[in-house]
Chains A and B, each alone.
Chain A
């Protein structure tokens, strides 16, 4: 009896274990239901991936055993994704492209071969080349005010003076001389810096003055606009063309 009991217990236990295991495996199989690439496929079969003949642009590779791939659920979903229209265009164009990526230069037609030989008159390149030859740049090319020459870097001050810089300094001086500390602000002990934009035409006439960033004090902003407008005209810019610039005007008590 004892013996039987022992055996029975072991038997019940094994039933419970196997039931649990099958339940778990069932649950796993359920959970991988939407998994596009299923376990079954993987363990039994290696799927051939066929790349387009001139494989440059990827296509959905045809899987041999289409039936085992559960992708309808995914496909049906309304997914905000890479532009739908673009994707469809993509697929459409891929078909075209596979044949078309021919690297043999002789076969690469250039769109209008008859028009190719248009000799440069005032060419961008020739100008550029002269720029380049003066500049032995030891670094990647201009990305942001990069058009500096190595020489200029070493001796920045030895350069010919930039008339625009002097002009800008003069303007700052002029504005400084013309501004008055607003009485109201003074009384209240208010200070601030206002940034204004000034546009002048080629003869120096002020066309527009605007506050780009307020000082936070109305009277200071207003006074700055008045002071600049009262100048009426500024010296003609060295560029001999209209010019715009942002300038900061500072109001500091006791300064």
Chain B
């Protein structure tokens, strides 16, 4: 398949490309394409490409935009396409997205760039998916609150040898949550509010976040597959089926004004669609707000793995019981749905029918149960929706397979757990959960929130130990000093996962390993203790 020479050739090309892209920063290229380039949702024969032109430049030069795609980073024999000037406008905030579906060869490394008045953008690269394969590596990232820290982790990620990056949500934070924790990371919404009020606020955030050179580099160097968590819209949001509008947990000037919240939702979706290259179904004119965007989707890579990308916010019932964090449970945990009816039907069918060696469940929030000293860690995660979780586990168990890999995020911590058949009396292990730490968002140590609910523990280390003892499926937690990303290496027989830690407080942090785990046939082993 991929020979050593191929590998060397590729790695040299990638190194050259990285260097070239780094030289672009601060040049004319950056002035014309301030948010760089990006690609998303790769298939065996296509990809979605993205860029945005500085509106000032566009207005002055009034030129057409040129796209080049080639198998060589020097753009020899490049395909050249032209997007006429009048097609780029403020309607989409000067963003451009092109779907190349059906036009590319499988398992091929491509380079692409945009040219405007002969000024090139960053050079992006992506590889189309293979028709069949016996191994695949991908990365997961989550939670990148801009003022909370630097995106140094993305710089390391740019250089990883992976097929794509799964973004588990909280790409932006809709609110300014306090002062920046590092220099030069202040955010000021155009509306002057501290929380998004309209599309311009959401657009501003995407622009601001993506303008970060490390994130820009990662978006150029790898295709992304995105889903949402809550902060793409509003904190801890859920759907109120009676009022037909989303509820949330934060103070917002729109309060419970249904019309305003619905319009805000449209703004959030529209801005996301403009800035995130993604192949999802949407229709903002639908009478049913739940049909405005459908993020849940599936992706198969040969017969090796089926990715089931879920949306755990849009359709969920309100979080059950009293309080969401550090609270004892209640019978309502067995009545709620986190998936909603249609997504549940879709997911159960996919789980039951999957014939791939591995099922990768992409879940923005923690899957495994966590109940410490009689209190659930978070009823905003799957613990608040237990019956539905049991339903998924039963489906996998009935198939007799032990091939469920859950990739999750949201908790601003790394966590590795066995997926057990049930959490009352676990009998067997059906898979493993790998939660990736935040890129930059504040963690338990910084926030100190655990102290309020578990003051009987004098240190966070003690609390984490108790959590792991009382929830014995959990094998690893680090909510103390871990930010970074996770690389999941899938092969036919086993999954090897490495969680990388990159300190968000410095732009020159080193990359270290937080944990390395191997899962195979119902057994999860830590390779580094």
Contacts and interface: CB of A to CB of B under 8 A. Distances in A.
B247 A139 contact: no
A144 B377 contact: yes
A89 interface: yes
Contacts of B339: none
Given A111-B244, A149-B452, A51 B98 contact: yes
Interface string B41-81: 10111001000000000000000001101010000011111
Given A118-B258, A125-B247, A48 B378 contact: no
A58 B103 CA distance: 14
Given A48-B84, A100-B284, A132-B250, A141 B178 contact: no
A246 B281 contact: no
Contacts of B69: 37
Contact of B105 (A74, A143, A212): A74
A54 B91 contact: yes
A82 B41 contact: yes
Interface string A111-131: 111011110100111001101
A156 B450 CA distance: 10
B326 A145 contact: yes
A2 interface: no
A245 to B, nearest CB: 4
B273 A108 contact: no
A82 B258 contact: no
Contact of B371 (A49, A96, A246): A246
A82 B279 contact: yes
B282 interface: yes
B525 interface: no
Interface string B331-367: 1000000000000000000000000000000000010
A180 interface: no
Contacts, number: 342
B371 A48 contact: no
B181 to A, nearest CB: 9
Given A37-B69, A165-B373, A212-B426, A97 B302 contact: no
A105 B101 CA distance: 33
Given A133-B251, A239-B328, A115 B371 contact: no
Interface stretch (A13-21, A39-47, A183-191): A39-47
A139 B258 CA distance: 27
B274 A56 contact: yes
Nearest to A133: B251
A137 B325 CA distance: 15
A199 B78 CA distance: 67
Given A57-B273, A71-B102, A81 B44 contact: yes
A241 B330 contact: yes
Given A89-B281, A139-B446, A212-B426, A55 B145 contact: no
A165 B451 CA distance: 12
Interface stretch (B2-10, B30-38, B410-418): B410-418
Contact of A195 (B101, B378, B446, B470): B470
Interface string B450-488: 111111100000000000011110000001000000000
B270 A101 contact: yes
Interface residues of B, number: 129
A34 B131 CA distance: 15
A129 B449 contact: no
Interface stretch (B12-20, B207-215, B259-267): B259-267
B284 A101 contact: yes
A167 B448 CA distance: 23
Contacts of B236: 141-142
Interface in A14-35: 32, 34-35
A97 B283 contact: yes
A54 B90 CA distance: 10
A218 interface: no
Interface string A75-87: 1010111110011
A143 B410 contact: yes
B177 A141 contact: yes
A86 B308 CA distance: 13
B78 to A, nearest CB: 5
Contacts of A93: 281-283
Interface in A135-157: 137-149, 152-153, 156-157
Contacts of A242: 330-331
A164 interface: yes
B282 A146 contact: no
A85 to B, nearest CB: 10
Contact of A58 (B88, B98, B380): B98
A227 interface: no
B159 interface: no
A221 B143 CA distance: 41
A169 B257 CA distance: 45
B67 A145 contact: no
Contacts of B67: 49
Contact of A129 (B231, B251, B380): B251
Nearest to A214: B472
B175 to A, nearest CB: 8
B469 A83 contact: no
Contacts of B258: 110, 115-118
Contact of A147 (B79, B273, B323): B323
B11 interface: no
Interface stretch (B285-293, B398-406, B494-502): B285-293
Contacts of B277: 58
Given A55-B87, A58-B97, A82-B41, A143 B279 contact: no
Contacts of B471: 246
Contacts of B325: 142, 144-147
A236 B104 CA distance: 67
Interface string B234-258: 0110001001100111110001111
A65 to B, nearest CB: 12
Interface string B295-322: 0011111110000000000000010000
16 contacts: A55-B87, A57-B273, A74-B102, A81-B45, A89-B281, A93-B283, A96-B285, A101-B270, A101-B284, A105-B263, A111-B244, A116-B259, A118-B243, A144-B449, A210-B425, A248-B470
Interface of B: 41, 43-45, 48, 66-67, 69, 71, 77-84, 87-88, 91-92, 96-106, 129, 131, 143, 145, 148, 173, 175, 177-179, 199, 231, 235-236, 240, 243-244, 247-251, 255-259, 262-263, 266, 270, 273-274, 277, 279-285, 287-289, 297-303, 318, 323-326, 328-331, 366, 371-375, 377-378, 380-381, 410-413, 423-426, 441-442, 444, 446-456, 469-472, 479
Interface of A: 32, 34-39, 41-43, 46-51, 54-61, 63, 69, 71, 74-75, 77, 79-83, 86-87, 89-90, 93, 96-97, 100-103, 105, 108-113, 115-118, 120, 123-125, 128-129, 131-133, 137-149, 152-153, 156-157, 159, 162, 164-165, 167-169, 193, 195, 197, 208, 210-213, 237, 239, 241-248
Given A51-B96, A132-B250, 15 more contacts: A55-B97, A57-B97, A79-B44, A102-B285, A124-B318, A128-B249, A132-B251, A137-B177, A139-B148, A147-B325, A156-B451, A165-B455, A237-B328, A245-B371, A248-B469
